[in-house]
């Protein structure tokens, strides 16, 4: 546990000390929330889910922020490879699984912090303050999104040496995952083929879980969201641990 905590603390401190990283990560989510939300708010109504389009968009933008921060945290593995820190860690008498879990929980924590910042800023653009129970449900789903996609990022980074290549692959994965998650449109309005793709996207269940926490309504049963996202996160931890064990020094 000391190894996991130490690596987790290192990642969190690196994140908190990098103000430019925090501010830069807010740019795209705030752009979508303010420009897209207010731009379409007067012409788009989704009465079965929320009172206005901005409210409908908030859970998706929070999920987007968590997704981007968590999956790109895998770049830390490549960074540590290039600067020799990973080699020093791997030769230490500790389990590689513990190292991987420390990286995963560290990346997930920074993703939750980023998502929380977006959530707080959303209060200034019309989000009604939910009860403490709603916030806890939203944080729980944010944590599962963070753990699952951080593990995915680590799994891919474990097989790569080039940072630019990793970022290109992540960009190729992120936008379909976010675009098909139902974050910007109701699932019920989609054609059958795209609805099937949306339901196959694990982020969909995170978006709907956060939406249930904030508004008490969702397009998918919240227990189903919890089960699917918990299964995805667990599976990604095992895949990430398996591939991380094969990292060569």
Return the number of other C-beta atoms located less than 10 Å from residue 3's C-beta: 17
Residue 52: CB atoms within 10 A of its CB come to 17
pTM value > 0.85: yes
pLDDT band, very low/low/confident/very high, at 169 (cuts 50, 70, 90) = confident
Give the pLDDT confidence of 67-88 residue by residue, as tens digits. Answer: 988 888 877 788 777 777 677 7
Quote the CA–CA distance of 86 and 99 in Å, as a whole number. 9
User: How many Å apart are CA 104 and CA 87, to the nearest integer?
Assistant: 18
Tokens of 77: 């593995």
Cα separation, 160 vs 208, in Å, equals 33
- Mean pLDDT over all residues of the chain? 83
pLDDT at residue 42, rounded to an integer: 63
Tokens of 53: 């389009």
d(CA 5, CA 193): 44
> Is-contact 30 114, C-beta < 8 A?
no
- Measured in degrees and rounded to the nearest 5, phi and psi for residue 185 equal -155, 150
pLDDT at 139: 93
pLDDT digits (tens, 9 = 90+) for 3-57: 788 888 888 888 888 777 777 777 778 887 777 777 666 666 665 655 677 788 8
Query: What pLDDT does residue 122 have?
Result: 83
Which CA distances in Å does 185 have to 13, 42, 52, 204?
36, 15, 12, 11
The answer on pLDDT for 202 being more than 90 is yes
Q: Are 123 and 61 in contact (CB under 8 A)?
A: no
The pLDDT value given to residue 126: 67
Cβ(31)–Cβ(65) under 8 Å? no
């Amino acid at each position: 546990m000391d190894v996991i905590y130490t690596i987790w603390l290192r990642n969190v401190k690196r994140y908190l000390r990098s103000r430019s990283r925090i501010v830069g990560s807010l740019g795209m989510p705030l752009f979508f929330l303010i420009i897209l939300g207010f731009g379409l708010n007067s012409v788009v109504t989704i009465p079965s889910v929320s009172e206005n389009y901005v409210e409908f968009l908030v859970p998706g933008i929070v999920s987007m922020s968590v997704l981007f921060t968590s999956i790109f945290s895998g770049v830390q593995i490549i960074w540590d490879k290039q600067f020799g820190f990973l080699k020093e860690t791997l030769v230490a008498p500790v389990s590689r699984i513990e190292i991987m879990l420390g990286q995963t929980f560290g990346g997930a924590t920074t993703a939750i912090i980023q998502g929380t910042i977006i959530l707080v800023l959303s209060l200034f653009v019309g989000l009604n303050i939910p009860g403490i129970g709603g916030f806890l449900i939203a944080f729980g789903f944010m944590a599962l999104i963070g753990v699952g996609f951080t593990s995915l990022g680590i799994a891919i980074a474990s097989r790569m040496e080039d940072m630019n290549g990793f970022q290109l692959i992540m960009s190729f994965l992120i936008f379909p995952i976010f675009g098909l998650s139902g974050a910007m449109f109701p699932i019920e309005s989609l054609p059958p083929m795209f609805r099937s793709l949306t339901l196959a996207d694990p982020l969909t269940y995170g978006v709907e879980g956060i939406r249930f926490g904030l508004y008490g309504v969702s397009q998918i049963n919240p227990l189903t969201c919890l089960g699917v996202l918990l299964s995805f996160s667990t599976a990604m931890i095992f895949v990430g641990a398996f591939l991380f064990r094969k990292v060569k020094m």
